[in-house]
Amino acid sequence: MMAAKHCEEKMKYLHKGINDLIDHVLHMGPASEQTKVQEFESFIGVKIISEINIHPPAIAHTKGNGKRLGKAQRRQQVRKKRRGLQAARREKRTRLHPSLPRKIYVASSG
C-alpha cells in the first residue's frame, strides 16, 4: 500500500495480485491430510488414547462415626439432670422454710 502511494494504476495491480494470491491459497489443498485429532497430537507431541478405564471409587464408611451416638447420650444426660432439678424444686415447694410461721389448724369442737 505504501509502495503504491497515490498512483491508481499501482493500486489496481496490487489489488489484483492480492486477489490472485488468495484464490491460489484457497484452491491449494491442506498440506497433509490430517484430522483434527492427529493435528492436535502432533502439536502436543503425545498420542491420545482412544479408551479410558475409570475405576470406581473406594467405598467410604461414614456410618457409626460416633457423633450421633454422642449427641443422643448428651441429650439423655441433660434430661436426667432436668428431672433431678424439677424434683428438687417440687420438694422445695412442699417443704416449709424454718423461718416461716407454721399455721396450725385446730378443728373446732362443737
| All cell numbers assigned to 76 | 439423655
Q: Residue 16 belongs to what H/E stretch?
A: helix 8-27
C-beta separation of 11 from 21 below 8 A: no
Residue 49: C-alpha distances to residues 40, 41, 83 (Å): 13, 10, 70
∠ CA 83-81-84, nearest 5°, is: 40
User: Higher-confidence residue: 99 or 87?
Assistant: 87
pLDDT tens digits for range 34-78:
788 888 888 899 998 889 899 988 887 766 655 555 677 788 888
- pLDDT band for position 16 (cuts 50, 70, 90): very high
Task: Kindly report the pTM of this predicted structure.
Answer: 0.28
User: Higher-confidence residue: 1 or 36?
Assistant: 36
